[in-house]
A and B are shown apart, each in its own frame.
Chain A
């Protein structure tokens, strides 16, 4: 088989980085096909240009008017149909940038040639990131994911149809099971914040709806079609539950409740994450928060031990968050000023009352996550991402304020821990959707600072951010720009026109508007053009109804044995 599909057009400019192909009769080229053309230069060197088809067109030749098509169809006017495809060049070997000579034969690139065209040949450690439209695996270079040369993934797309979380989960599955990480795989972790829906709560269960063709897709990618083997599920403690039960949704078993002790919040200076959305008066308010955090930390240090959940403020033991709020904001009868006002001095009274207002609001939504008694065995309720390979932190049912607190507190603790370790291993992938809430383009805040830290320094600390959002234009530009892997699912047409998606060609933008669930456009540093990939249906359950029935899940199994 010659693979020849046509020849370089001479009626439109052929250029070193893009050219048109006239498609031969009996052949076809479709979007995303990979092609190559060899063109000689006068010294005898043969230049090979590789590229990806990003436009295809067909038109009548010999017809001049739109209505000629009717005459042609009636067999009255002779005209022929000409097919042409536009090729975006991905690679030139050797790197002599000359246009392909019009008339040169264009071939479909397969096998090693295709790997060459897409730079897969140079990837020593490659991670499958999906299948191309012709069913061939597409790889990403692990060097750009694990921090060696780059890190971070950013995924954009409309909620519900863009399958952002599914793709992020698929990427993790691929990272863990493809073997690209080598010996590090077992010691690599992922911390996934489940911010909406419950589709991540069953990913340790096989998907009963997985079809044979899905299994075949996994096989082509060289990945096992199986659920995540090592996963823990963490949910916030239930409101008012002295027994520390997790606030679980549809998943009943195997969920760990997590919370913070008052002492931890104070000592680790997590209080600021209760004020995360306070952009407007940021400088003033953060001054107050800083002061009060410092005072509280001092109070905590003065009385009690590290393992004690409570602290003492002004001689009174504080065992609940409400008590802490009260201690800070209550005005004694003979006192004009609250404790917060005293501590925050010389901050303006208005700023302090803003602080107090927010603290009260926070108490309502976040208070139950911070306790000073009934803490049980502390270890059992710690949010420790190192315990399993996958840690799913389910915060979807929490109030926005509480979500921010959890994300901020968890990331800060992790970042500081990694910082003190000083090594890039173990590698941890942090999956966070709705990035626009945590690191909005405008303004600043404590969570945004942590995320920016991760985005800018996480590479060397072994923290890889897999961020997702509906619209990249609403996310801090540095975070988007720092991502090595830029992924786009279904996009709103207006959003697709924004400069954040400059890597999409005009045709790519149009396609982003019609991408089906399970299809993404991926740009990676080594390949100058964004590639369209399909990723297989999850091999793990994404809802309760998909959980495969098995003996272990049978609630009556135990009865029979007895």
Chain B
């Protein structure tokens, strides 16, 4: 029932995920330069070009196996045992998952140095949780530690692959890419979190057509990046007009020309990987290769019940020893 006073629109993602569009009006726009590529802030449809021969998508998944409460003298330190998986989908005609790696970490807050935690499974192997510590001692600090471990591994894989393929789409911002990283790596941010544009520039986003992008804009900082928005799909009329708009970024250090090439390439190519709601609860922004990769990686993390039982059995043997 339209009432003229407001409009009701849906966030396209399934409700169990956090919203895909979280741009609030309270957010201060970050000071960005929107004139780096073109004087006019208008939609760009890149010229036709043959598709790249090889594209890689890099992503990771993580899972908290157990949260830990670590007695350290008088204090209690927050910690966790977690698993993460990182891998890539290589697309060259066919799409296939490669370079899957699984990591397990024992994270402690408060700067506490743990030893590696080993939990035998089935008498044949053991899960080895590598120690890692976070400076803060808050309940969320260990989760950050797990997240960072995953992001570092993702960035490492993206850097390795960038020399083998035409372009690497790395899930998330480029924060963890080393300064020395060479090759063409594009950060792919599927959730709109921060307001980079002022309202007049922002007004372009809902008007983008599928396969169009905004001009590049420069995000300054310690590691300056060129960023742009692309519409990879159009949502249903009942969904937010920003459905299907994603943000991408490339290292500014590699020059404006390369960033433009990557922006054009992404506007041309990414739309064919956009997922549909039937297959992915985070459609259309969660690309098909990413969804497939995540499913594979989650599978490789192992059965959570088996992992939990192994950890419990090990702790039990330590407690009763």
Contacts and interface: CB of A to CB of B under 8 A. Distances in A.
Contact of A75 (B94, B293, B296): B94
A330 interface: no
Interface in B68-92: 89, 91-92
Interface in B244-286: 272-273, 278-279
B288 A77 contact: yes
Nearest to B97: A78
A9 to B, nearest CB: 16
Nearest to B273: A76
Majority SS at the chain A contact face: loop
Contact of B95 (A64, A65, A76): A76
B96 interface: yes
B93 interface: yes
A71 B288 contact: yes
Contact of B289 (A65, A76, A80): A76
A325 to B, nearest CB: 83
Interface in A67-103: 68, 71-72, 74-80
Nearest to A61: B296
A75 B93 contact: yes
B96 A80 contact: yes
B295 interface: yes
A76 B288 contact: yes
Given A62-B295, A71-B288, A78 B95 contact: yes
B53 to A, nearest CB: 12
A78 B279 contact: no
Nearest to B88: A78
B304 interface: no
A79 B291 CA distance: 11
A64 B279 CA distance: 8
Given A62-B295, A62-B296, A77 B289 contact: yes
A98 to B, nearest CB: 18
B273 A78 contact: no
B168 to A, nearest CB: 15
B292 interface: yes
Contact of A78 (B93, B272, B278, B289): B289
Interface string B288-302: 110111011000000
Given A76-B288, A77-B288, A78-B293, A68 B279 contact: yes
Contacts of B291: 77
B292 A77 contact: yes
A301 to B, nearest CB: 88
Contacts of A62: 97, 292, 295-296
A65 B275 CA distance: 13
Contacts of A64: 279
A80 B95 CA distance: 9
B278 A75 contact: no
Interface residues of A, number: 13
B49 to A, nearest CB: 18
A79 B279 contact: no
Nearest to B290: A78
Contacts of B279: 64-65, 68
Nearest to A76: B288
Interface centre among B95, B96, B279 (most CB of A within 10 A): B95
A476 B93 CA distance: 61
B214 to A, nearest CB: 25
B292 A75 contact: no
Contact of A65 (B97, B272, B278, B293): B278
A80 B299 CA distance: 14
A203 B188 CA distance: 78
A76 B272 CA distance: 8
Nearest to A68: B279
A80 B296 CA distance: 11
Interface in B91-107: 91-97
A64 B296 CA distance: 12
A203 B69 CA distance: 90
Contacts of B95: 72, 75-79
Contacts of B293: 78
A407 to B, nearest CB: 65
A78 B92 CA distance: 11
A11 to B, nearest CB: 11
Nearest to B55: A75
A195 B219 CA distance: 94
A72 B92 CA distance: 12
B278 to A, nearest CB: 7
A74 to B, nearest CB: 8
Interface string B119-155: 0000000000000000000000000000000000000
Contacts of B278: 65
Interface in A123-163: none
Interface string A523-535: 0000000000000
B99 to A, nearest CB: 12
Interface centre among A68, A74, A78 (most CB of B within 10 A): A78
A75 B272 CA distance: 10
A78 B295 CA distance: 10
A68 B293 CA distance: 15
Contacts of B292: 62, 77-79
Interface in A45-66: 62, 64-65
Contacts of A80: 96-97
B41 to A, nearest CB: 32
B295 A75 contact: no
Contacts of A79: 95, 292
Contacts of A74: 272
Contacts of B94: 72, 75
Contacts of A65: 278-279
A544 to B, nearest CB: 58
Contacts of A68: 279
Interface string A202-225: 000000000000000000000000
Contacts of B272: 74, 76
A64 B280 CA distance: 11
Interface centre among B93, B94, B278, B293 (most CB of A within 10 A): B94
A296 B92 CA distance: 93
B313 to A, nearest CB: 21
Contacts of B93: 75
Nearest to B272: A76
A62 B278 CA distance: 15
A413 B273 CA distance: 82
Nearest to A80: B96
Interface of B: 89, 91-97, 272-273, 278-279, 288-289, 291-293, 295-296
29 contacts: A62-B97, A62-B296, A64-B279, A65-B278, A68-B279, A71-B288, A72-B94, A72-B95, A74-B272, A75-B91, A75-B92, A75-B94, A75-B95, A76-B91, A76-B95, A76-B273, A76-B289, A77-B95, A77-B289, A77-B292, A78-B95, A78-B97, A78-B289, A78-B292, A78-B293, A78-B296, A79-B292, A80-B96, A80-B97
| The 10 nearest A-B residue pairs measured at CB | A78-B292, A78-B95, A76-B288, A75-B95, A78-B97, A77-B288, A78-B89, A75-B94, A77-B292, A75-B91
Given A75-B95, A76-B273, A76-B288, 7 more contacts: A62-B97, A62-B292, A72-B95, A75-B94, A76-B272, A78-B289, A80-B97
